[in-house]
Chains A and B, each alone.
Chain A
Amino acid sequence: MIEAQHLTKRYGQKAAVDDLSFTVRPGIVTGFLGPNGSGKSTTMRMIMGLDHPNTGRATVNGRPYHDLRWPLREVGALLEAKAIHPGRPAWAHLWMLAQTNDIPRSRVDEVLAMVGLESVGRRRAGKFSLGMSQRLGIAAALLGDPGVLIFDEPVNGLDPDGIRWARLLLRRLASQGRTVFVSSHMMSEMALTADEVIIIGRGRFLAQQPIAEITAQSAARFVRVRSPQLEQVRSALDSCRAQTVLEDDGSLTVRGIDEAAIGEIAARHGLALHELAPQTASLEEVFMELTSNELEYSANTGTEGKRS
């Protein structure tokens, strides 16, 4: 369980994180979404006790990070894949972390094997590709077998196989009852990995919802209809208070009623349909919609700020 309560972090006049509150629950993968520079990493660093918030606080399992008895056994984090001394062998990077929390040496070899780096454990981390560094970072997060896991953009630099592997790992960790909090700027990636997402823009909270709900409620939802009797279909639908738009490609875009209703209306009028395709907005579109509103809002408050 991770809780953020009114977290605010300012750099000069600019708030990187602005009165952000949310709860990350155990047992599911919670995605943390926002455009680059929206404050995701800063928020994660504040949860980890690395950056000090100006106001508000963050707790892990009900306590501030600083008060955890065995931090690595409670929280595992991958914040930056390349944050490894390039001259230090991979095993030594893990071992020096393990020692602080009385984690046995055997666990170092265990996590190296879990991330598929057992054969390169003695190599210096500077020789690692970005993908291998990500895996080493994930290994470090797993060292203390913690119940709370925090990953900042963990799939960056992974190849398609690696991305699939990471996705399955995150899902498995969550299914074991752990809290899994993973940031990304890519909605499509989150759609496959996360059960729930927290969306922020410009450091502000925008939404926290199950992925499916976010998609379903999107204003961009519509049904594409094709028919040899398109004009009749259109007038039949218009009379039922649907909004219809005739597209250039000869299809009809219908908003306001769902595909079942459209099918029934067509059947009542004895009209043939060649296509009746509900178009859920992609998460990417919803994401853009949400965050572009936020950008506009920020621009407005910016001008007002200047005037006062």
Chain B
Amino acid sequence: MSTYAPSMPPGRISMKGLLRSEWTKLRTVRSTIWTLGATVLTGVAVSAIAMGVTRAHWATESAANRAAFDPIEVSLVGVYLGGSLVLGVLGILVVSSEYATGTIRATLAADPRRPMVLAAKVLVFTAVALVMAEVTSFASFLIGQAILTSPAKHATLSNPGAPRAVAGVGLFLCVSGLLALGIAAVVRHTAGAISAYVFVQLVLPIIVAGFPNPLQHQIERLLPLEIGSAMINNPAPDAFGPWTGFLILCGYTLLILALGMVLLVRRDA
């Protein structure tokens, strides 16, 4: 009886193969196109509507309202509020859809080095999310400002603080998606992960708003949403600076991803 000898190339499975695989996974399901499209659309649509309405009512606005109006902030509200939710859904699906469909077993059979598998997911998602997040924030800003014609005051990228706000909110969007991905690595269920993410992003700020001061402000500045808000020049009282806040958000994300990695290694697939 002959024993079968498979053809075995030198070396072994590598990160390169994993990255190519994750890219294939991402681009061959429709949910990627839908969520990325919705991310851009949410940011741009909110900006266009807000700016259009502002332009229409500019003549009748009070002087105080005109003075308080910040064209940078208003053009980016949809990006950090709406966009971060939609992009977060994609981050969640990158992990949770593998558990929902059972493909995680095929994935881990193809490459059993679990930390590498999660790292490949994070890297590919980050690359795609970063590009789409910056496209969203710049498109929202530029289209919004184009709608907001004189006499209403509009901004350009040469305004002080504008490049930081626009590029920064794109970074916020990307890292929010990674935070969602990390939550999914811990929770593993799509609905559970989305609930947890929405709770952190939207429900927690509402709950904290009912707390007495100074407790309210001390907690608020630690919330991802307030960190995003500070990034677009609308800081809450006692808020951290935009980049300090961003580092704190990165810290949360790294912690949850590390927890997800430990659990991925320990748990049965």
Contacts and interface: CB of A to CB of B under 8 A. Distances in A.
Q: Decide if the interface of chain A is mainly helix, strand, loop or mixed.
A: loop
A71 B25 contact: no
B97 interface: yes
Contacts of B29: 85, 87-88
B24 interface: yes
Contacts of A95: 24, 28
Given A27-B3, A84-B103, A96-B25, A75 B109 contact: yes
A65 B269 CA distance: 14
B150 interface: no
Interface stretch (A139-147, A154-162, A259-267, A297-305): A139-147
A145 B109 contact: no
A49 B17 CA distance: 20
Contact of A87 (B5, B30, B108): B30
Contacts of B31: 87
A72 interface: yes
A127 interface: no
Interface residues of A, number: 47
Contacts of B12: 69-70
Contact of A145 (B6, B111, B268): B6
A97 B110 CA distance: 6
B112 interface: yes
Contacts of B18: 100
A89 B29 CA distance: 8
Contacts of A235: none
A144 B3 contact: no
Interface string A53-76: 000000000000110111111110
A82 interface: yes
Given A83-B106, A145-B6, A71 B269 contact: no
Nearest to A26: B3
A84 B269 contact: no
A97 B5 contact: no
Contacts of A96: 21-22, 24-25, 28
A74 B1 CA distance: 19
A275 interface: no
Interface of B: 1-9, 11-13, 17-18, 20-22, 24-25, 28-31, 97, 101-103, 105-113, 266, 268-269
